[in-house]
Amino acid sequence: MNNEQQPNTSATGEYNEYETFAFHPYNVLLILVLFGIAALFLAFSASFIYSRIQNGLPPIKLPLLFFINTVILLGTSATMVWAKKSYKADDTKAYQNALKATIALSIIFMIAQFFAWKQLIDQEIYINSDNSAGYLYLISGMHFLHVIAGLPFLGAFLWVAQKRMKEPVSVLVYFSDPEKRLKLRLLTIYWHFLDALWIYLILFFWINSLLS
């Protein structure tokens, strides 16, 4: 008989709901949220294409800051991976620094995005210029709001970590909490999803800008 511990089970052989994406409510909720967000942006993308074809609208050239923001968001994915690895390694200082770095990069992204929209305005491309411009502002704005939605969760993780990681015993309790490990994993997945979504949007608008 194979005595190797099976996946999603504890050391005692009991089923561990925190180690699977199949049944835990947090897992199900995240999957539903991501499917909903993906469907929303696909619908906006289809509407953008339909509107542009129907009205024969000219292409919109994306400002350089849209592409620079892609690098910034990829940085947030890297820092979330850093946070996850630090959590597994019980590295208190690195874990907190990774969360701080993710928050800082997210704020930099949002500031840069305001300047990116300003560059559009400087090109006299306004939200009410035409349907293409309206969808560009709407889609990038919706992504911006989803980044904002993730920041309170990052802040909560950092606040709890700083509050509880003061003594060896409290640190041990924090790092051994399976629910916190699960929530960190889900937040990391959410951040990766936002990065992948932004890359999709940049490619989508860039390809559209090449089509006359």
List, for residues 147-195, the tens digit of each pLDDT value: 999 999 999 999 988 887 777 777 777 777 888 888 889 999 999 999 9
Spatial separation of the C-alpha atoms in residues 212 and 46, rounded to whole Å:
17
Tell me what pLDDT residue 22 has. 56
C-beta separation of 58 from 133 below 8 A: no
Mean pLDDT score of the chain, rounded to an integer?
Answer: 85
Here the contacts of 152-157 (C-beta below 8 Å, separation 24 or greater) are 153/187, 154/99, 154/102, 154/103, 154/106, 154/187, 155/103, 157/99, 157/183, 157/184, 157/187
Residues found in the chain:
212
The distance of Cα 140 from the centroid of its chain, to the nearest Å, equals 14
pLDDT tens digit sequence for 55-70: 888 888 899 999 999 9
75 vs 209: which has the higher pLDDT: 75
Confidence band of 2 (pLDDT split at 50, 70, 90): very low
More confident position, 41 or 1: 41
Which residues have a Cβ under 8 Å from the Cβ of 174 and sit 6 or more positions away?
160, 161, 164, 165, 180
Residue 5 in this model has a pLDDT that exceeds 70: no
The pTM for the full model equals 0.83
Domains, the chain:
18-210 (1.20.120.80)
69, 198 contact by CB (below 8 A): yes
Q: What is the pLDDT of residue 55?
A: 84
The confidence band for 119, taking pLDDT boundaries of 50, 70 and 90, is very high
Share of the chain above pLDDT 90, in %: 54
